[in-house]
Chains A and B, each alone.
Chain A
Amino acid sequence: MILRELCDAIGVSSGEDAVRDLIYTHIRDYVEAVRVDALGNLLAVRRGTGAVDLRVMAAAHMDEVGLIVVGYDSDGLLRFRAVGGIDARILPGTRVLVGPERIPGVVAWAPIHLNSSEDTVSIERLRIDIGVSSRDAAQNAVERGELIAFDSRLVELGPTVRGKALDDRAGCASLIALIQGEPFPFDLHVAFTVQEEVGLRGARVAAQAIKPDVAFVLETTACHDLPEDPDEPDQTTITRLGGGPAITVVDRSMVSDPRLVRFLAQTGEREGIPFQFRSPQHAGGTDAGAIHLTRGGVPSAVVANPCRYLHGPASVMNLSDFENQSRLLRAAWMALTPAVLERD
Chain B
Amino acid sequence: MPLDLTEHLKQLSETPAPSAHEGPVRAVIQAAWTPLVDAFEQDGLGSLIAVKRGTGPEPRPTIMLCAHMDEIGLIVAEVRDGFLRTEKLGGTDYRALLAQPVLVHGRRVLPGVFGAAPPHMSRDRKKYPPASELWIDVGLPADEVAALVRIGDLVTFDAPFVKLRGERAVGKSLDNRASVAAVTVCLDELTRRTHAWDVVAVAAVQEEVNLAGATVAAYQVRPDLAIAIDTTFGEQPGVNDDVSFALGEGPTLGRGPNFHPGLFKALRQVAKDHEIKLQVEVLPGHSGTDAWAIQVSHAGIPTALLSIPIRNMHTPSEVVDLRDITRAGRLLAAFIETLGPDTLAQIAWKLPRDNAKEERTP
A residues adjacent to B (C-beta < 8 A): 13-14, 17, 20-21, 24-25, 28, 34, 36-42, 68-71, 79, 81-84, 124, 144-145, 195, 198-199, 201, 204-205, 208-209
Q: Does B351 interact with chain A (Cβ within 8 Å)?
A: yes
Q: Does B44 interact with chain A (Cβ within 8 Å)?
A: no
In the bound assembly, the distance between CA atoms of A17 and B351 in angstroms comes to 9
Contacts of A36 in B (CB 8 A): 348-351
Q: A21-B351, A124-B240 are in contact. Are A201 and B282 (CB under 8 A)?
A: no
A145 and B300 contact, CB distance less than 8 A? no
Q: Of A40, A195, A208, which is within 8 A of B299 by CB?
A: A208
A198 and B300 contact, CB distance less than 8 A? no
Identify the closest chain A residue to B264 (Cβ): A145
Q: How far is the CB of B207 from chain A (nearest CB, A)?
A: 18
B295 and A79 contact, CB distance less than 8 A? no
Identify the closest chain B residue to A67 (Cβ): B284
Complex interface: stretch among B84-92, B154-162, B253-261: B253-261
Contacts of B272 in A (CB 8 A): none
In the bound assembly, the distance between CA atoms of A38 and B294 in angstroms comes to 12
In the bound assembly, the distance between CA atoms of A63 and B7 in angstroms comes to 48
Contacts of B302 in A (CB 8 A): 38
Q: A14-B256, A24-B352, A36-B348 are in contact. Are A144 and B300 (CB under 8 A)?
A: no
Q: A36-B349, A145-B282 are in contact. Are A13 and B257 (CB under 8 A)?
A: yes
Contacts of B261 in A (CB 8 A): 14
Please report which residues of chain B, range 254-299, place their CB below 8 angstroms from some CB of chain A when the two chains form the complex.
255-257, 260-261, 280, 282, 284-286, 295-299
Identify the closest chain B residue to A17 (Cβ): B349
B257 and A71 contact, CB distance less than 8 A? no
Contacts of B285 in A (CB 8 A): 83-84, 198-199
Identify the closest chain B residue to A194 (Cβ): B257
A205 and B280 contact, CB distance less than 8 A? no
In the bound assembly, the distance between CA atoms of A28 and B360 in angstroms comes to 14
Q: A38-B302, A205-B299, A208-B299 are in contact. Are A144 and B351 (CB under 8 A)?
A: no
Q: Does B216 interact with chain A (Cβ within 8 Å)?
A: no
In the bound assembly, the distance between CA atoms of A13 and B301 in angstroms comes to 17
Identify the closest chain A residue to B286 (Cβ): A199
Can you add 14 more A-B contacts, CB < 8 Å, to A124-B242, A201-B257? A14-B256, A20-B349, A20-B351, A38-B299, A39-B260, A40-B349, A41-B300, A68-B256, A70-B284, A82-B284, A84-B285, A145-B256, A199-B285, A205-B299
Q: How far is the CB of B231 from chain A (nearest CB, A)?
A: 19
Contacts of B241 in A (CB 8 A): 71
Q: Of A14, A79, A82, A204, which is within 8 A of B296 by CB?
A: A204
Contacts of A84 in B (CB 8 A): 285
Contacts of B240 in A (CB 8 A): 124
Contacts of B300 in A (CB 8 A): 37-39, 41, 205, 208-209
Contacts of A25 in B (CB 8 A): 352
Q: How far is the CB of A267 from chain B (nearest CB, A)?
A: 32
Q: A24-B351, A70-B282 are in contact. Are A144 and B299 (CB under 8 A)?
A: no
In the bound assembly, the distance between CA atoms of A38 and B284 in angstroms comes to 19
Q: Of A42, A81, A205, which is within 8 A of B298 by CB?
A: A205
The 3 closest A-B CB pairs, nearest first, are: A38-B300, A205-B300, A145-B255
Identify the closest chain B residue to A12 (Cβ): B257
B299 and A83 contact, CB distance less than 8 A? no
B257 and A198 contact, CB distance less than 8 A? yes
Contacts of B295 in A (CB 8 A): 39, 201
Q: Of A42, A70, A195, which is within 8 A of B257 by CB?
A: A195
Q: Of B280, B284, B299, B352, which is within 8 A of A21 by CB?
A: B352
Contacts of B257 in A (CB 8 A): 13-14, 83, 195, 198, 201
Please report which residues of chain B, range 296-350, place their CB below 8 angstroms from some CB of chain A when the two chains form the complex.
296-302, 348-350
A-B contact pairs, 10 of them (CB 8 A): A21-B351, A39-B260, A39-B296, A41-B300, A70-B242, A83-B257, A124-B240, A145-B256, A198-B284, A198-B285
Q: How far is the CB of A138 from chain B (nearest CB, A)?
A: 14
Identify the closest chain B residue to A13 (Cβ): B257
In the bound assembly, the distance between CA atoms of A252 and B124 in angstroms comes to 40
Q: A81-B284, A145-B282, A199-B285 are in contact. Are A209 and B255 (CB under 8 A)?
A: no
B296 and A144 contact, CB distance less than 8 A? no
Q: Of B242, B256, B301, B350, which is within 8 A of A79 by CB?
A: B242
Contacts of A81 in B (CB 8 A): 242, 282, 284
Q: A13-B257, A68-B256 are in contact. Are A208 and B298 (CB under 8 A)?
A: yes
Contacts of A37 in B (CB 8 A): 299-300
In the bound assembly, the distance between CA atoms of A195 and B261 in angstroms comes to 14
A38 and B301 contact, CB distance less than 8 A? yes
Q: How far is the CB of A258 from chain B (nearest CB, A)?
A: 27
Identify the closest chain A residue to B225 (Cβ): A38
Q: Of B243, B282, B297, B348, which is within 8 A of A68 by CB?
A: B282
Of the candidates B282, B284, B295, B301, the one having the most CB atoms from chain A within 10 angstroms of its own CB is B284
B351 and A205 contact, CB distance less than 8 A? no
Contacts of A71 in B (CB 8 A): 241-242
B282 and A38 contact, CB distance less than 8 A? no
Contacts of B284 in A (CB 8 A): 68, 70, 81-83, 198
In the bound assembly, the distance between CA atoms of A38 and B299 in angstroms comes to 7
Of the candidates B242, B257, B285, the one having the most CB atoms from chain A within 10 angstroms of its own CB is B257
Identify the closest chain B residue to A209 (Cβ): B299
In the bound assembly, the distance between CA atoms of A248 and B115 in angstroms comes to 53
In the bound assembly, the distance between CA atoms of A17 and B261 in angstroms comes to 12
A144 and B352 contact, CB distance less than 8 A? no
Of the candidates A38, A69, A79, A83, the one having the most CB atoms from chain B within 10 angstroms of its own CB is A38
In the bound assembly, the distance between CA atoms of A40 and B242 in angstroms comes to 28
In the bound assembly, the distance between CA atoms of A187 and B241 in angstroms comes to 52
Identify the closest chain B residue to A37 (Cβ): B300
Q: How far is the CB of B219 from chain A (nearest CB, A)?
A: 10
Q: A25-B352, A71-B242, A208-B298 are in contact. Are A144 and B282 (CB under 8 A)?
A: yes
